[in-house]
Amino acid sequence: MKQGSLLVALLFIVSLASAQQSREAQMNLFVESLLKKMTLEEKVGQLNQYNGDLAFTGPVTMDKDKIGQIRRGMVGSMLNVTGVEHTRELQKIALQSRLKIPMLFGQDVIHGFRTTFPIPLAEAASWDLEAIELSARIAAIEASAAGVHWTFAPMVDISRDPRWGRVMEGAGEDTYLGSLIARARVKGFQGKGLGYTDAVMACAKHFAAYGAAIGGRDYNSVDMSLRTLWEIYLPPFKAAADAGAATFMNSFNDINGVPATGNRYIQRDILKGKWKFTGFVVSDWGSIGEMVNHGYVANNKEAAYVAINAGSDMDMESRSYRDYLVQLVRDGKVKMELVDDAVRRILRKKYE
**Residues taking part in catalysis:** 284
Do the Cβ atoms of 183 and 262 come closer than 8 Å? Answer: no
Residue 250 near residue 284, CB atoms below 8 Å = yes
- Helix, strand counts (H, E) of the chain: 13, 11
Nearest to 189 by CA among 155, 166, 238, 159: 155
What are 282's strand-pairing partners?
249, 314
Which residues, 6+ apart, have CB-to-CB distance to 92 below 8 Å? none
Cis check: omega of the bond before 86, within 30 degrees of 0: no
Residue type at position 123: E
Distance of alpha carbon 201 from alpha carbon 314, whole angstroms: 15
d(CA 292, CA 299): 6
- Residue 323 is inside which H or E element, if any? helix 320-330
State which amino acid sits at residue 249.
Answer: M
CA distance 72 to 93: 9
| Helical H segments across 38-128, by residue range | 40-46, 66-71, 84-94, 120-126
> Under a CB-based contact definition with an 8 Å cutoff, are residues 260 and 251 in contact?
yes
What is the spatial distance between Cα 136 and Cα 235, in angstroms, rounded to a whole number?
A: 20
CA 157 – CA 179 distance, rounded (Å): 10
Residues paired with 77 in a beta bridge: 49, 104
Residue count of the chain: 352
What sign has the CA pseudo-torsion 123, 189, 240, 43?
negative
Beta bridge mates, 48? 315
